[in-house]
């Protein structure tokens, strides 16, 4: 592994890997810093590693499993010469090109003429007392990872978007009942997902409800729901709670250098350019509107093209 690169791509979800395919085919010899294995969305492969079937990625008539799609994209990038470094970026020290990148992989920094940030987003948590303690002990953010543990059990999913419904539908394979807890009286998810949830006899929807307390010493045993219309509370005996209430961008390490909005999404202009010359951003880290695998992949392609042109101008 060399220590100086034309382009370092940070993140290995659809955006990072598509940027890697394009940068590698442009003979820029990119290095992808791909993250560290974990159960969260900043692991190698990103959020799709925590997904079951992806039905809406063009080109797959019968759908494809999220991890399989990511494996295919990685192999495709590798085929054209992209290199991969397992690890996380700790900081990017120089304010201008060439950048010095410190990672968890080695004490010595890497040098890069340009950087493509594709660090994605991670799940938002409820912020309740006990939540951290019970994470992995009944509380989860990943149905595909943990659903199997809840065979013949009663469980709950919180959220009303596509993620929550996807999780709820998947969990009906294992659980006896899936309680869907949503804070409003209508779901945010796409109509097709809503219809599937309404049609599934195992899913019980609790409208206008929020989770206000978690109970359990060693593992989750009960949750408290509060009705948002009249504030009355009820206890629900569930052994699992899957939190699917959205995501927050993985941008904390860039906070002091890269311009971002109040929620931490990186600000881009003219495609994928950031405020720092030679640094580009793509995927969920800069997209608060579309947030689809295919739009992430598309912006990864844009970032590689922007980066290639910028390097050619230097
Ligand atoms: P999302 O669309 O932002 O939905 C988040 C849900 O959580 C909303 O229903 C929201 O309620 C609720 N929520 C937020 N904060 C909450 C809190 N503190 N307490 C209780 N509920 C809270 O996020 P997402 O479902 O993760 O989806 C993100 C994007 O990925 C979307 O564009 C989605 O379409 C896409 N996606 C697509 C697929 C697919 O096509 N197969 C699968 C998954 C995700 P409100 O509705 O009241 O705001």
Give residue ranges with CB within 6 A of ligand 1: 56, 158-164, 166, 183-184, 188, 210, 244-247, 291
Domain locations in the chain? 4-122+247-313, 125-243
Specify whether domain 4-122+247-313 bears CATH 3.40.50.170: no
What's the rounded Cα separation, in Å, for the pair 168 and 204? 10
Report whether pLDDT(146) > 90.
Answer: no
Under a CB-based contact definition with an 8 Å cutoff, are residues 121 and 137 in contact? no
Q: What is the pLDDT of residue 39?
A: 53
Under a CB-based contact definition with an 8 Å cutoff, are residues 274 and 266 in contact? yes
The pLDDT tens digits of the residues spanning 83-102 come to 999 999 999 988 899 999 99
Under a CB-based contact definition with an 8 Å cutoff, are residues 114 and 276 in contact? no
H helix or E strand, kind and range, residue 222? strand 222-227
Token readout for 212 is 């206000």
Give the pLDDT mean for 230-255: 95
Question: Residue 55 — pLDDT band, cuts 50, 70, 90?
Answer: confident
Under a CB-based contact definition with an 8 Å cutoff, are residues 196 and 169 in contact? yes
What's the rounded Cα separation, in Å, for the pair 221 and 214? 8
Question: Residue 1 — pLDDT band, cuts 50, 70, 90?
Answer: low
CATH tag, 125-243: 3.50.50.60
What's the rounded Cα separation, in Å, for the pair 208 and 35? 38
Question: Residue 33 — pLDDT band, cuts 50, 70, 90?
Answer: very high
Give the pLDDT mean for 251-265: 94
Same fold, 4-122+247-313 and 125-243: yes
Q: Range with the lowest mean pLDDT among 123-137, 181-195, 208-222, 299-313?
A: 123-137
- How crowded is the C-beta side of 183, counted as CA atoms within 13 Å? 10
How many helices and strands, by DSSP H and E, does the chain display? 7, 19
The pLDDT tens digits of the residues spanning 156-212 come to 999 999 999 999 999 999 999 999 999 999 999 999 999 999 999 999 999 999 999
Q: What is the pLDDT of residue 63?
A: 92
| Catalytic one of 146, 162, 284, 287 | 146
Give yes or no: 145 in active site: yes
In angstroms, what is the span from residue 158 Cα to ligand 1's centroid?
10
Q: Which one, of 128, 17, 28, 148, lies nearest residue 77 by Cα?
A: 17
Give the pLDDT mean for 27-38: 92
In angstroms, what is the span from residue 205 Cα to ligand 1's centroid?
16
Question: Residue 291 — pLDDT band, cuts 50, 70, 90?
Answer: confident
**Choice from 15, 161, 288 to test ligand 1 binding pocket (greatest atom count within 8 A of CB):** 161
The residue contributing the CA closest to ligand 1 atom 29 is: 291
Question: Residue 247 — pLDDT band, cuts 50, 70, 90?
Answer: confident
In angstroms, what is the span from residue 278 Cα to ligand 1's centroid?
33
């Amino acid at each position: 592994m060399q220590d100086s690169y034309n382009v370092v791509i940070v993140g290995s979800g659809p955006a990072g890997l598509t940027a890697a395919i394009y940068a590698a085919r442009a003979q820029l010899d990119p290095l992808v810093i791909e993250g560290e294995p974990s159960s969260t969305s900043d692991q190698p492969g990103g959020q799709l590693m925590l997904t079951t079937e992806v039905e809406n990625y063009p080109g797959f008539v019968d759908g494809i499993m999220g991890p399989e799609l990511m494996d295919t994209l990685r192999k495709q990038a590798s085929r054209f010469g992209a290199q991969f470094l397992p690890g996380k970026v700790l900081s990017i020290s120089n304010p201008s090109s060439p950048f010095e990148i410190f990672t968890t992989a080695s004490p010595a920094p890497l040098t890069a003429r340009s950087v493509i940030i594709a660090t994605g987003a991670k799940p938002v948590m409820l912020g309740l007392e006990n939540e951290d303690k019970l994470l992995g002990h009944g509380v989860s953010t990943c149905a595909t990872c943990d659903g199997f543990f809840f065979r013949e059990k009663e469980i709950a999913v919180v959220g009303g978007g596509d993620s929550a419904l996807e999780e709820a539908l998947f969990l009906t394979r294992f659980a006896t009942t899936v309680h869907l807890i949503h804070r409003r009286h209508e779901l945010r998810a796409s109509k097709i997902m809503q219809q599937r949830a309404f049609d599934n006899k195992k899913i019980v929807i609790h409208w206008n409800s929020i989770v206000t307390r978690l109970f359990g010493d060693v593992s989750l045993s009960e949750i408290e729901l509060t009705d948002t219309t009249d504030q009355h509370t009820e206890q629900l005996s569930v052994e699992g709670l899957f939190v699917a209430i959205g995501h927050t961008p993985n941008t904390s390490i860039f906070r002091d250098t890269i311009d971002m909005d109040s929620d931490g999404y990186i600000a881009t202009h003219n495609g994928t350019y950031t405020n720092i010359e030679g640094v580009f951003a793509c995927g969920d880290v800069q997209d608060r509107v579309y947030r689809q695998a295919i739009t992430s992949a598309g912006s990864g392609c844009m970032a590689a093209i922007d980066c290639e042109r910028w390097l050619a101008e230097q």
